[in-house]
Structure 1
Amino acid sequence: MSYFITGTDTGAGKTLVSCALLRAFAAQGKRAVGFKPVAAGCDAHDHNEDALLLRAAGNVQAAYGQINPYCFAHAIAPHLAARHAGVRIEFGRIMTSYRELAAQADTVIVEGVGGFCVPLNDRQTGADLAVQFGLPVILVVGMRLGCLNHALLTLRAIREYPLECAGWVANGLDETMPALQENIDALRERIDAPLLGIIPRMRAPEASAAARYLDVKLLERESSHE
């Protein structure tokens, strides 16, 4: 039960949902670990905040370099951040780290970078990386104006590769969003995958609190139907 987490765009809430899923699976007694293959924006210790949150949310002890094999200083598109660092993102290195983590865990939550189709090098994108993993995809929809178009286009891309969309999460970003429930209903009518939960807008987002809004048992039911 490992999953690739993607979002409608940067800032949709992939890290919050990834950490919440880790907490939820750990609460079920599973060995759960997060994986952030590529991160753009790191501190003086070459650590990325999102990757550190993933590391803390899991219950498997893993080295930072295993959880985040590529970390770049500049918080820009990953292929540009890599170019500035004089590095090419290689899928082989990413998959080696993934296999090491998978050998230690029951569940690996792989958090993508940016949106689904963001470039990672001169030829490959985040979608190509998702195909490399071959894992079911969980789509995080950042609930704000414009999310319907972003969500449905991302879903179309997931299916065209083709990959399985195992479920989606509505993550509240704008507490003043007009017709919030109607937008969620519109997506439920159009996304043929379970809604795993609706996370309300949190002033101080925290994984344990967000986990209470997710029903990971829906993922088990979905896989049992295949």
Structure 2
Amino acid sequence: MSYFVTGTDTGVGKTLVSCALLHAFSARGKRVAGFKPVAAGCDDDDHNEDAKLLRAASTVQATYGQINPYCFHRPIAPHLAARHAGVNIEFPRIMASYRELAGQADEVIVEGAGGFCVPLNDRQTSADLARQLGLPVILVVGMRLGCLNHALLTMHAIAHYQLECAGWVANVLDAGMPALQENIQALRERIAAPLLGVIPCQPQPDARAAVAHLNLEMLEIKETDG
């Protein structure tokens, strides 16, 4: 079983949750691989920090290019970063890399770029990629002011693309967020998918520490049923 991790926005903790999932499944004896199809913002070695973290959390041997087939220097919207680089993001290349990883791993955690509907090229979005991959979606909700609207709109988009939401994670970005628990409860009442965990605010995000705040029993039940 593999999953597509998306978020309510950029910078809401998709990499944190993706790496935590990789560590959690690895601890259960699974061969795991992280996959970042498209990344905008890379270092002088043409490597993206999020993709490097996913690779480090993986247990299968994979090249950086397999983990992250498209990486662009400018930290802007992916389709714009690609345009500035003179590159067109093509889904067949992404799918080929995904199949290579899926052939080696029991679980592939695919981390999307930005929010669910961010454009990847002139015609296709991250949502189109999720649909082509056909994977259950895990939604990371960045808990801060405005998150209810972002979360519910993203859930509507996931349903529009006829994809299953396997669960959602509340990642607390603002330690002082007013009515935090009430906001989490409001989402529990409105999102049919299970809440997989609440990750407290971390000044320095730690994926291994985040594992303790995730309850993957619902995912395991879905995998068994599937």
Give the structure-2-normalised TM-score: 0.98
Matched with 2:119 is 119
Check if 1:67 corresponds to 2:67: yes
| Cα-to-partner distance string for 1:174-216 (whole Å, 9 max, x where unaligned) | 0000000000000000100111000000011111001111112
User: Partner of 2:154 in structure 1?
Assistant: 154
Match of 1:89 in 2: 89
Per-residue CA deviations over 1:133-175 (Å, capped at 9, x if unaligned) read 0000000000000000000000000001110000000001000
1:223 Cα deviation (Å)? 3.9
212-221 vs 105-114, greater mean Cα deviation: 212-221
Alpha-carbon distance, 1:221 to partner = 1.5
The two structures, once aligned, show a CA RMSD in angstroms of 0.8
- Equivalents in 1 of 2:125, 2:35: separation in Å? 17
Sequence identity percentage = 76
Q: Is the 8 A contact 1:42 1:49 kept in 2?
A: yes
Distance 2:193 2:224 in 1: 14
Residue by residue, what CA displacement relative to the aligned partner does 1:10-40 show, whole Å, maximum 9, x if unpaired? 0111000000000000000000110000000
Partner of 2:167: 167
The question of 1:20 aligning with 2:44 is answered: no
Corresponding residue number in structure 2 for 1:177: 177
**1:1-226 alignment runs, 5 A limit:** 1-225=1-225
**Paired AA for residue 89 in structure 2:** I
Aligned-pair distance for 1:225? 4.8
Indicate the SS of the match to 1:92.
helix
- Aligned AA for 1:178? P
Instruction: Tell whether the 8 Å contact from 1:69 to 1:97 is kept in structure 2 after alignment.
Output: yes
Instruction: Give CA-to-partner distance per residue, 1:69-105, whole Å, 9 cap, x none.
Output: 0000000000000000000000000000000000000
Residue identity matched to 2:160: E
* Unaligned runs of at least 5 residues, structure 2: none
Secondary structure of the 1:202 match is: coil
Q: Which one-letter code corresponds to 2:108 in the other structure?
A: V
- Structure 2 letter corresponding to 1:99: R
Q: Count the aligned residue pairs.
A: 226
Q: Which amino acid aligns with 2:177?
A: M
**Letter aligned with residue 138 of structure 2:** I
Work out the CA distance in 2 between the residues paired with 1:190 and 1:203. 29
CA contact (8 A) 1:40 1:75 kept: yes
How many Å apart are 1:222 and its aligned residue? 3.0
Cα distance between partner residues in 1 of 2:58 and 2:147: 29
* Aligned 8 A contact 1:169 1:198 in 2: yes
Q: Which structure 1 residue ranges, 4+ long, deviate > 6 Å from structure 2?
A: none
CA distance in 2, matches of 1:211, 1:218: 15
Helix, strand or coil at the partner of 1:138? strand
The answer for unaligned runs of 5 or more in structure 1 is none
